[in-house]
Amino acid sequence: MSKVFYATTPIYYVNADPHIGHAYTTIIGDCLARWHRLDGYDTHYLTGTDEHGEKIFQAAQAAGVAPQAFVDQISARFERAWEALGISHDDFIRTTQERHTRVVRQVLQTVHERGDIYYDEYEGLYCVGCERFLTDKELVEGKCPTHQTTPEARREGNYFFRMEKYRAWLTEHIQTHPEFIQPEGYRNEILSMLRESIGDLSISRPRSRVPWGIHLPWDESHVTYVWFDALLNYVSALGFPAGERFTKYWPHTWHLIGKDILKTHAVFWPTMLQAAGIPLYQRLLVGGYLLGPDGRKMSKSLGNVVDPFALSQKYGRDALRYFLLRELPYGQDGAVGEKGLVERYNADLANDLGNLLSRVRALLLRHCKGVIPQPAPGEAEAATSTAGQALLAKLRPLVHNLRLYAAIEEVLQFVRSLNRYFNDQAPWKLAKDPAQQERLGTVLYQVVEGLRIASILLEPAIPDKARQLRQSLGLGDYTLGQAAEWGLAPAGTPIPAEAPILFPKFEAEAPAEAPAEAPPAAPAVPVKAPITIDEFGKVDLRVALVVAAAKVPKADKLLKLTLDMGGQERTVVSGIAQWYKPEDLPGRKVVVVANLQPVKLRGILSEGMILAAVDDQGNLTLVGLDQDLASGAEVR
């Protein structure tokens, strides 16, 4: 089978700025494109903007700007938005570009010459939001169900495309090609629509009313209907009809759309293609709606709109990408909000993935001279040696069927199994026993390999962080197939001495979802008597790495911590056992009071104190660093 892949997003209307719904579909497409590239497919990923039509013309008029200047401005915002979210599209098409308008006129001419276009008077109900006439059946209480507006009654002379003529043929095609429209519910919706007449499609507007559009080649007094124009972007961008890209990519097309534009893509588009003598696309993949955090459809008036760019700035673009990809089964509606993002981020990315990386790095730096160790010869551990192969075999069909959330969850389960392995093997204990050094190398190698494999499989979802993860283990890039091969991390590879924390943990605060009423003012905290800066300067605060942690026998509250303060080892006894498990601490950076008079606690000499914040409910959390800094660094 040829390894060629072509994915498209809808081209977005430039009547308003990009929002999270646009980002959602574009991120899904990006993940698919990256997956296929990583798998050695010759991949082409297309997005762009839809710039003609009444809706855009009206928006430009309302803004008091000439249409071309208006669309230039907003189209550029979409391009910038995709750059900000790390979208790796290969092309960005705009329907006002000459490479597109030329193809639209050419296809219209062909269909006209074949006798599939005629002129007629038409009367119907038009929804400007959808940019199409709605049938009585589609209305809900007289309104457009997508836009909640009453369509306008219109009567005018239009050119028509003989769409009805292709109804039986289209039905047959859908019936004999189960993959053509997915998920199945949408396929059934279209099959049921096709049981009744679909009518012919009005494909022009009089220029006297809508001057903004592509002129019909045979009648300059009409412009092309925006959907007939827009759908053709998918082939014009490939250089249809003669372009090499068209020949190569078109037979492998996956169109990603939201359910709001199902009919145009599942009925208008294939019949247009058939009439123009162009082969059909391969698959139409239909996504559901994103809902606000309250479970209602996002809308500005309800105030439940989530801004993807603010989230991406605050938490990082890979965090947003991960959340949207992991949270919702494609095809279904689902609620998204900041709180959910933070929870998902902390649990999966900061705890399961990032923390394991920090812990293994700390041990490699301390006990393995900062290089990836050599595993014992011939030792095949259950944790990873065949896991990569099994995982990839599971992931391929999941990705093919757009079950991206399930594919990600499989990888995360693997990462959780690595965490269990790490905790069970307790390499920090092995490190202390000179007879166990080979075993220590084997265990740490397993975890490094596991992280390498997970990073490859997660790369389409979180491209920047996946690379950062590997870099902090001294590793470069791999192909998807190399996730299935065990042992590709070369023993002896030096790992960088310093690496930024992969996923710094966030507090689960969500200002956008906070209750409308202001929370009661916190009581004033009694503050101790003032001290001078010189007095404060006497306290020597330092960054330290937790190297080992253990319970203090017969003391429920105490842990004994071994700290590395930049080449200098310290023991500190700390009363944090109620809040922290010993196995969760090695690899963490803490802040320690380095010049505190040593004291003996339960027979152990404690040489300092680590800082923790505690609230009046008794909740305690260790003071940490926002970004990684070398052990021994001064805190002031």
Tell me the catalytic residues. 19, 22, 127, 130, 144, 147, 297, 300
- Mark the segment that binds ligand ME8 (CB under 6 A) among 20-28, 35-43, 186-194, 236-244: 20-28
Shortest reach from residue 304's CB to ligand ME8, in Å: 11
Binder of ligand ME8 out of 22, 187, 205, 452 (CB under 6 A): 22
Q: Which residues contact 115 (CB under 8 A, 6 or more apart)?
A: none
**Nearer residue to ligand ME8 within complex by CB, 145 or 598:** 145
Q: How far apart are CA 24 and CA 359, in angstroms?
A: 33
Q: Which residues contact 440 (CB under 8 A, 6 or more apart)?
A: 363, 367, 368, 373, 427, 430, 431
Q: For 151, what's the count of Cα atoms within 13 Å in the CB-facing half-sphere?
A: 26
For residue 488, what are its two tokens? 């590709």
Q: How far apart are CA 532 and CA 258, in angstroms?
A: 62
* Residues 523-562 contacting ligand ME8, CB under 6 A: none
**Nearer residue to ligand ME8 within complex by CB, 111 or 290:** 290
Binder of ligand ME8 out of 31, 103, 230, 311 (CB under 6 A): 230
Q: How far apart are CA 11 and CA 48, in angstroms?
A: 5
Binder of ligand ME8 out of 6, 13, 281, 580 (CB under 6 A): 13
Which residue carries 């004994």 as its tokens? 560
Shortest reach from residue 308's CB to ligand ME8, in Å: 11
Q: How far apart are CA 243 and CA 109, in angstroms?
A: 19
Binder of ligand ME8 out of 7, 81, 298, 499 (CB under 6 A): 298
Shortest reach from residue 634's CB to ligand ME8, in Å: 49
Residue 25 engages ligand ME8 in binding (rule: CB under 6 A): yes
Residue 47 engages ligand ME8 in binding (rule: CB under 6 A): no
Q: Is the dihedral of CA 510, 406, 358, 613 positive or negative?
A: positive
Residues in the chain: 636
**Nearer residue to ligand ME8 within complex by CB, 59 or 362:** 59
In the DSSP assignment, the letter for residue 279 is: P
Binder of ligand ME8 out of 6, 7, 10, 355 (CB under 6 A): 10
410 and 456 in contact (C-beta within 8 Å)?
no
Shortest reach from residue 376's CB to ligand ME8, in Å: 51
Residue 12 engages ligand ME8 in binding (rule: CB under 6 A): yes
User: Counting beta carbons within 10 angstroms of the beta carbon of residue 434, is it exposed (0 to 12), middle (13 to 18) or buried (19 or more)?
Assistant: exposed
Shortest reach from residue 567's CB to ligand ME8, in Å: 53
Q: How far apart are CA 442 and CA 373, in angstroms?
A: 7
- Mark the segment that binds ligand ME8 (CB under 6 A) among 72-80, 86-94, 230-238, 565-573: 230-238
Q: How far apart are CA 25 and CA 325, in angstroms?
A: 10
Residue 85 engages ligand ME8 in binding (rule: CB under 6 A): no
**Nearer residue to ligand ME8 within complex by CB, 298 or 399:** 298
**382: number of Cβ within 10 Å:** 10
The count of chain residues that interact with ligand ME8, using the rule CB under 6 A, is: 20
User: Counting beta carbons within 10 angstroms of the beta carbon of residue 422, is it exposed (0 to 12), middle (13 to 18) or buried (19 or more)?
Assistant: buried
Q: Identify which of 402, 42, 400, 96 has the alpha carbon closest to the alpha carbon of residue 257.
A: 402
Residue 405 engages ligand ME8 in binding (rule: CB under 6 A): no
- Mark the segment that binds ligand ME8 (CB under 6 A) among 160-168, 181-189, 225-233, 511-519: 225-233
Q: How far apart are CA 410 and CA 422, in angstroms?
A: 19
**Nearer residue to ligand ME8 within complex by CB, 38 or 230:** 230
Residue 21 engages ligand ME8 in binding (rule: CB under 6 A): yes
Q: Identify which of 260, 234, 228, 325 has the alpha carbon closest to the alpha carbon of residue 9.
A: 234
CA distances from 611 to 60, 544, 567 (A): 58, 11, 20
Radius of gyration over every alpha carbon of the chain, rounded to an integer in angstroms = 30
**Nearer residue to ligand ME8 within complex by CB, 21 or 183:** 21
**Nearer residue to ligand ME8 within complex by CB, 204 or 233:** 233
Shortest reach from residue 332's CB to ligand ME8, in Å: 11
Shortest reach from residue 129's CB to ligand ME8, in Å: 8
Q: How far apart are CA 610 and CA 620, in angstroms?
A: 12
Binder of ligand ME8 out of 11, 85, 444, 457 (CB under 6 A): 11
Tell me: cis bond preceding 183? Omega within 30 of 0 counts.
yes
**Nearer residue to ligand ME8 within complex by CB, 39 or 51:** 51
E runs forming strands in 174-329: 181-182, 201-202, 204-206, 222-224, 253-258, 283-287, 290-291
Shortest reach from residue 289's CB to ligand ME8, in Å: 4
**Nearer residue to ligand ME8 within complex by CB, 269 or 315:** 269
Residue 231 engages ligand ME8 in binding (rule: CB under 6 A): yes
Shortest reach from residue 204's CB to ligand ME8, in Å: 18
* Residues 249-268 contacting ligand ME8, CB under 6 A: 257-258, 260-261
Which residues pair with residue 635 across a beta bridge?
541
- Mark the segment that binds ligand ME8 (CB under 6 A) among 16-24, 181-189, 364-372, 523-531: 16-24
**Nearer residue to ligand ME8 within complex by CB, 25 or 442:** 25
* Residues 265-294 contacting ligand ME8, CB under 6 A: 287, 289-290
Q: Identify which of 167, 405, 190 has the alpha carbon closest to the alpha carbon of residue 286.
A: 190
In the DSSP assignment, the letter for residue 127 is: E
In the DSSP assignment, the letter for residue 299 is: -
Residue 50 engages ligand ME8 in binding (rule: CB under 6 A): yes
Which position's Cβ is nearest ligand ME8?
A: 21
Q: How far apart are CA 617 and CA 102, in angstroms?
A: 69
Residue 101 engages ligand ME8 in binding (rule: CB under 6 A): no
E runs forming strands in 147-252: 152-161, 181-182, 201-202, 204-206, 222-224
Q: How far apart are CA 43 and CA 37, in angstroms?
A: 6
* Longest pairwise C-alpha distance within the chain: 98
Shortest reach from residue 335's CB to ligand ME8, in Å: 11
Shortest reach from residue 206's CB to ligand ME8, in Å: 22
**Nearer residue to ligand ME8 within complex by CB, 210 or 456:** 210
- Mark the segment that binds ligand ME8 (CB under 6 A) among 9-17, 407-415, 445-453, 504-512: 9-17
575 and 611 in contact (C-beta within 8 Å)?
no
**Nearer residue to ligand ME8 within complex by CB, 129 or 487:** 129
Residue 580 engages ligand ME8 in binding (rule: CB under 6 A): no
Binder of ligand ME8 out of 24, 35, 161, 249 (CB under 6 A): 24
Shortest reach from residue 260's CB to ligand ME8, in Å: 5
Site of interaction with ligand ME8 (CB under 6 A): 10-13, 21-22, 24-25, 50, 230-231, 233, 257-258, 260-261, 287, 289-290, 298
